[in-house]
Chains A and B, each alone.
Chain A
Amino acid sequence: MSRAFTIAHAGAAAAGAPAPATPRAVPHRGGPVSPSADALRARFPDAVRRVDVVWGETSVYVEPARVLDVVRWLHDDPEQRYDYLADVTAVEFRDLEQPIEVVWHLRSLPFRRFLRLKAQLPKGAPLAVPSVWPVYKSADWLERECYDMFGLRFEGHPDLRRILMWEQYREGYPLRKDFPLRGRFSRSEQLRQALAANPEARYSMEELSIADAFEDLPQEMRQRLAAGPRPGE
């Protein structure tokens, strides 16, 4: 589907702003807060937990359940226009009591702004946050990677499955702190499992278009593929 688009010029909306320059002597903590953080506080007083400025970059801690609302407003509001999702990732801390943080890096090209959103997911509860895929289609693979490595469920993601490890990978989520560096199984068992599968079955049909591998795919995946075109296309 072709759609008319306009070329984004960085800083086009920030008329009268000083020309961008490399920041000097940025303090570790504190400093000017991004205007978007204040706007978020005014707009979502119940969703914003706190605002941190670290090395000159503003981090906004939001309620996990409200992430999609916040992101949608940041994307749509004419005073914010965060039109680029740079990254979705997660952080697990060595301290087991500390919650897992999901991190979204947003960039507003028209205003030359950067904003970091964080949501804290306490241990013990199901690790789930709303997917921002309805707003940013680029979140698709980023969230899949996050799910693959950390086991976070992104509610509303159209096709949440592993992306780096293969679909039949059974050892868990490699970037979690309780994951052994060499994996959970012995080397021979890992190799046996890796060699047992059909190489083409590692990839889905929409990735490689190998019809031969269809019968070897997991049942759930076959149903999804047989159901027709993928959502979002």
Chain B
Amino acid sequence: MGLTNRPAPSTVTYDPPSQDGWVATRLDFLVNWARANSLWPMPFGTACCAIEFMASAASRFDLARFGMERMSFSPRQADVLICAGRVPFKLAPVIRRIWQQMPQPKWSIAMGACASTGNIFDNYAVVQGIDTIIPVDVYVPGCPPRPEGLMYGIMMLQDKVKRERMKDEALRHEMVPDPTSKLYIPPSAIDELSEPFGNSVQQTRSGL
């Protein structure tokens, strides 16, 4: 599973007697270490995935081990948007606005099949994956994923955070949607993303 043997993105050896109270490291490493271990989640729970998310936060699985015990219900103080559940089109501008209200640096996790792809809800009302609305860092599969699954996703995100470099400016730039289409990615890409099977576009309830 790689849960126990993750490659360390960077290591620091610290030997107090010989170093006499000081330690040298890269600023990158220090900042990333601090960020990765105190990711404050913004829970955006819309469906049954939110139940598993609550279970992850509760005592048995204890997200506090990852520095995530503070659920930030205000996007201004959040680092990770965890979208747990399906997002209907009516909620699309809401999650978009929450994402835009979060300050940089920020990351997002699409928890569960609905948030990642729309799942079985291939219908007129449900967004086919939140990656068509906001950029997504980690997709957690499952319907719903167990808390272990979510925690694995969080640990993957921590790995990603720890590998970031300050000189990489793209990470800190707020993405601006296209002014006319209001989308981050081209419409053709969205159509391609949302039609994995491409067989039900013209489908009606009765075959008429």
Contacts and interface: CB of A to CB of B under 8 A. Distances in A.
Contacts, number: 90
Contacts of B123: 181-183
Interface in A169-189: 171, 174, 177-183, 186-189
A197 B92 CA distance: 10
B203 A182 contact: yes
A199 interface: yes
B174 interface: no
A3 B203 CA distance: 52
Interface of B: 89-90, 92-94, 96-97, 122-125, 127-128, 132-133, 177, 181-183, 187-188, 190-191, 193-195, 200-206, 208
Contacts of A166: 90
Given A177-B206, A186-B191, A195-B133, 14 more contacts: A177-B205, A178-B208, A179-B124, A183-B124, A187-B132, A188-B181, A188-B194, A190-B124, A191-B133, A191-B190, A194-B90, A195-B182, A196-B182, A198-B93
Interface of B is mostly: loop
Interface residues of A, number: 27
9 contacts: A165-B90, A174-B125, A182-B201, A188-B183, A191-B183, A192-B183, A194-B127, A195-B182, A196-B182
A21 to B, nearest CB: 37
Contacts of A188: 132, 181, 183, 187-188, 190-191, 194
B89 A194 contact: yes
B93 A194 contact: yes
Given A180-B124, A182-B200, A187-B128, A199 B93 contact: yes
A94 B124 CA distance: 20
Nearest to A171: B124
A167 to B, nearest CB: 11
Interface of A: 94, 96, 165-166, 171, 174, 177-183, 186-192, 194-199, 202
B132 A191 contact: yes
Contacts of B92: 191, 194-195
A96 B208 contact: yes
A183 B201 CA distance: 8
B97 A199 contact: yes
A187 B181 contact: no
Q: Which 5 A-B pairs have the closest CB atoms?
A: A188-B187, A183-B124, A187-B194, A194-B89, A188-B190
Nearest to A203: B90
Contacts of A174: 124-125
A180 to B, nearest CB: 5
B122 A177 contact: no
Contacts of B133: 191, 195
Given A187-B190, A187-B194, A199-B94, A192 B182 contact: yes
Contacts of A96: 208
A178 B202 CA distance: 11
B205 to A, nearest CB: 6
A180 B203 contact: yes
Given A188-B191, A192-B182, A197-B93, A182 B206 contact: no
Chain B CB within 10 Å — which of A171, A195, A197 has the most? A195
B182 A189 contact: no
B187 A189 contact: yes
